[in-house]
């Protein structure tokens, strides 16, 4: 059993000041920067990793602050206040990380770094004083113990996968929840599938580890107790990686929602074999799940075979998506081009595939070879790697030599984006989605939603080009799919972001 408690300080010992910093994300698909303003929010979610390791530092020994650069600016006085700076980041936050480190070093501040970026690429950051790599439940207590004894090492790592039933409840009081659109929680880590391009198995293992149902209920109660009433994102690698355990959780969630004051809706990430289990689909629907991200990747059977996406093979991909929609869950999907098996026909096939599925929020990306993946090692052995990955597969950059040709791939990808995120095709996908969507967990008409509705009517319905598509959706959804009307308007608001990211910024 992991013990996060520490001895209390005597009156002669100093309370150490810890500043947690979460670096800024670039303007990407997932930032939703240009849509969040409609609902008066500044960022999608707070940094769950930092909020989870914060309770491991005893309040009797440490004074803690957290600055999320996606919400507020970092000032020198914040850095000067701290004895140690803790940074956690994803690969996409690399440029912001470099700026933070530079500022810390100028002021002579000690830096402790962890998270996926540093676990994969710590050698690229020589100015970091201490690396706490891998999963924090194991390595953070080791660092803290050495720090208390005055002998902290530079690198802490472990092959041990922690028992996450011992993970603490996130320390929510370090952030202002009103700044965020959703709250993140985690039920499991790891994924039973080992796709060639994915780094999850390398980071979190292939055998999913789960929390106890009561543990997640306690985390939900902790949010409810501080007045949070919004949506919750279960940020698992694959929520249904252990179907037996997740069904136990869902049954508890269904009972919990009956007495819950907030009755939140949930979204998560899962594999497409979700569509094969009607019991699981029913349980998720009644537990309040209204959206799920699924890696659909490609309509090409050869490319699915190549990347080891066997859970997507030998099935009608479109019908699988529509079945999930019919259970009241919106599928947001990941799509990839650039596999060795792809030829020039893939660009048109991807457009047709995405439109048929009715997946409105389609994260279409160029294949990236991430460190720690089987793809990275294969391309390295084939001498096809050309640069480090940005971690953002929508920024028109490649870090390997594709067999189809670099110019052909990038130009074909741009054509997919220009088509799928044109006014016409985007709104067509919303209507396709609404035909299959079962509206079980219909959105609530909150004050925040009403403000967003009127702003969308003004900005999307009057000032934006293509406003005729907005009004067509507005009236069709209002009269034909009234229970799904809030969902339809929400998807229209998302387009304000996607259009800026994919169309206007590219030209």
| Mean pLDDT lowest among 60-64, 171-175, 502-506 | 502-506
For residues 360, 294, 184, 55, the Cα torsion angle rounded to the nearest 10 degrees is -160
Distance CA 449, CA 455 (A): 10
pLDDT higher than 80, residue 505:
no
What does the domain layout of the chain look like in residue ranges? Answer: 16-156
Distance CA 387, CA 367 (A): 14
Distance CA 390, CA 117 (A): 11
Per-residue pLDDT, averaged over 317-332, amounts to 97
Task: Give percent of the chain above pLDDT 70.
Answer: 94
Helix (H, G, I), strand (E, B) or coil at 68: strand
Cβ atoms 209, 187 nearer than 8 A: no
What is the per-residue DSSP string for 160-196? PPP-GGGPPPP-GGGS-GGGBSEEEE--EE--S---T
pLDDT higher than 50, residue 141:
yes
Task: Give the Cβ contact number of residue 285 at 10 Å.
Answer: 20
Distance CA 22, CA 471 (A): 39
Q: Which of 220, 290, 225 is nearest to 255 (CA)?
A: 220
Per-residue pLDDT, averaged over 380-409, amounts to 86
Distance CA 64, CA 77 (A): 15
Please give the pLDDT value at position 503.
Answer: 74
- pLDDT band at 3, cuts 50/70/90? very low
Q: 238 vs 134, 175, 273, 295, 367, CA distance in Å?
A: 18, 27, 11, 10, 20
Ramachandran region, residue 466 (left: φ > 0; alpha: ψ -120 to 50; beta: rest): left
What residues does 130 pair with on adjacent strands?
Answer: 112
Kindly report the average pLDDT of the chain as a whole number: 92
Ramachandran region, residue 372 (left: φ > 0; alpha: ψ -120 to 50; beta: rest): left
Q: Which of 168, 178, 167 is nearest to 68 (CA)?
A: 178
- pLDDT band at 12, cuts 50/70/90? very low
Cβ atoms 120, 95 nearer than 8 A: no
Please give the pLDDT value at position 305.
Answer: 96
Cβ atoms 221, 321 nearer than 8 A: no
Per-residue pLDDT, averaged over 376-387, amounts to 93
What is the per-residue DSSP string for 246-273? HHHHHHHHHHHHHH-SS---EEEEE-GG
pLDDT in tens, 226-275: 999 899 999 999 999 999 999 999 999 999 999 999 899 999 999 999 99
Please give the pLDDT value at position 391.
Answer: 64
Task: Give helix then strand counts, H and E, for the chain.
Answer: 19, 14
pLDDT higher than 50, residue 5:
no
pLDDT in tens, 417-445: 999 999 999 999 999 999 999 876 655 56
Q: Which of 334, 346, 339 is nearest to 270 (CA)?
A: 334
Any idea what the Cα angle at residue 34 is, between residues 28 and 36, rounded to 5°? 105
What is the H or E stretch that residue 468 is in? helix 467-480
Q: Tell me phi and psi for residue 447, to 5 degrees.
A: -60, -40
Per-residue pLDDT, averaged over 55-77, amounts to 96
Please give the pLDDT value at position 390.
Answer: 63
Please give the pLDDT value at position 6.
Answer: 42
By CB atoms closer than 10 A (0-12, 13-18, 19+), residue 27 is: middle
- pLDDT band at 8, cuts 50/70/90? very low
CA atoms within 13 A on the CB side of 119: 21
Distance CA 451, CA 39 (A): 7
pLDDT in tens, 294-314: 999 999 999 999 999 999 999
Please give the pLDDT value at position 9.
Answer: 42
| Mean pLDDT lowest among 94-98, 297-301, 395-399, 437-441 | 437-441
By CB atoms closer than 10 A (0-12, 13-18, 19+), residue 278 is: exposed
pTM over 0.85: yes
Q: Which of 505, 475, 498 is nearest to 31 (CA)?
A: 498
pLDDT higher than 50, residue 71:
yes
- pLDDT band at 7, cuts 50/70/90? very low
Q: How far is CA 87 from the centre of its chain?
A: 18
Architecture of domain 16-156: 3-Layer(aba) Sandwich (3.40)
C-beta pairs of 459-463 under 8 Å, 24+ apart in sequence: 459/496, 460/492, 460/493, 460/495, 460/496
Please give the pLDDT value at position 13.
Answer: 59
Structure tokens at 471: 């009004």
**Strands (DSSP E) found in 52-102:** 62-68, 84-88
């Amino acid at each position: 059993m992991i013990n996060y408690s520490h001895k209390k300080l005597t009156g002669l010992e100093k309370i150490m000041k810890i500043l947690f910093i979460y670096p800024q994300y670039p303007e990407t698909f997932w930032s939703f920067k240009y849509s969040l303003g409609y609902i008066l929010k500044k960022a999608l979610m707070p940094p769950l990793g930092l909020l989870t390791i914060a309770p491991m530092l005893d309040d009797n020994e440490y004074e803690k602050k957290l600055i999320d650069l996606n919400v507020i600016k970092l000032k020198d006085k914040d850095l000067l206040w701290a004895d140690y700076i803790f940074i956690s980041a994803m690969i996409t936050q690399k440029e912001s990380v470099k700026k933070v480190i530079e500022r810390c070093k100028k002021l002579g501040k000690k830096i402790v770094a962890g998270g996926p970026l540093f676990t994969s690429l710590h050698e690229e950051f020589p100015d970091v004083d201490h690396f706490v790599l891998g999963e924090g439940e194991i390595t953070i207590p080791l660092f803290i113990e050495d720090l208390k004894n005055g002998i902290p090492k530079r690198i802490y790592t472990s092959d041990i996968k922690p028992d996450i039933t011992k993970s603490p409840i996130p320390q929510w009081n370090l952030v202002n929840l009103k700044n965020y659109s959703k709250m993140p929680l985690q039920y499991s880590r790891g994924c039973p599938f080992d796709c060639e391009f994915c780094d999850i198995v390398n980071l979190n293992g292939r055998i999913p580890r789960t929390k106890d149902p009561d543990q997640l209920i306690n985390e939900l109660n902790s949010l409810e107790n501080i007045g949070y009433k919004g949506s919750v994102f279960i940020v698992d690698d694959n929520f249904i990686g252990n179907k037996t355990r997740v069904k136990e959780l869902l049954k508890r969630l269904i009972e919990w929602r009956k007495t819950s004051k907030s009755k939140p809706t949930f979204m998560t990430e899962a594999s497409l074999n979700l569509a094969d289990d009607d019991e699981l689909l029913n349980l998720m629907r009644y537990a309040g799940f209204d959206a799920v991200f699924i890696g659909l990747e490609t309509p090409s059977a050869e490319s699915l075979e190549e990347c080891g996406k066997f859970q997507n093979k030998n099935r009608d991909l479109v019908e699988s998506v529509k079945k999930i929609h019919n259970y009241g869950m919106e599928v947001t999907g990941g799509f990839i081009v650039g596999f060795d098996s792809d030829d020039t026909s893939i660009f048109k096939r991807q457009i047709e595939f995405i439109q048929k599925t009715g997946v409105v929020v389609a994260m279409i990306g160029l294949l990236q070879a991430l460190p720690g993946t089987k793809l990275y090692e294969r391309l390295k052995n084939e001498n096809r790697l050309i640069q480090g990955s940005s971690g953002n597969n929508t920024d028109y950059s490649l870090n390997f030599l594709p067999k189809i040709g670099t110019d052909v791939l990038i130009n074909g990808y741009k054509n997919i984006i220009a088509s799928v995120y044109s006014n016409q095709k985007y709104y067509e996908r919303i209507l396709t989605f609404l035909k299959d969507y079962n509206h079980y967990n219909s959105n609530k008409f909150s004050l925040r939603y009403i403000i967003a509705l009127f702003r969308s009517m003004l900005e999307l319905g009057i000032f934006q080009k293509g406003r005729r598509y907005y009004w067509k959706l507005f009236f069709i959804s209002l009269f034909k799919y009234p229970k799904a009307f809030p969902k339809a308007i929400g998807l229209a608001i998302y387009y304000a972001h996607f259009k800026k990211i994919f169309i206007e910024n590219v030209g």
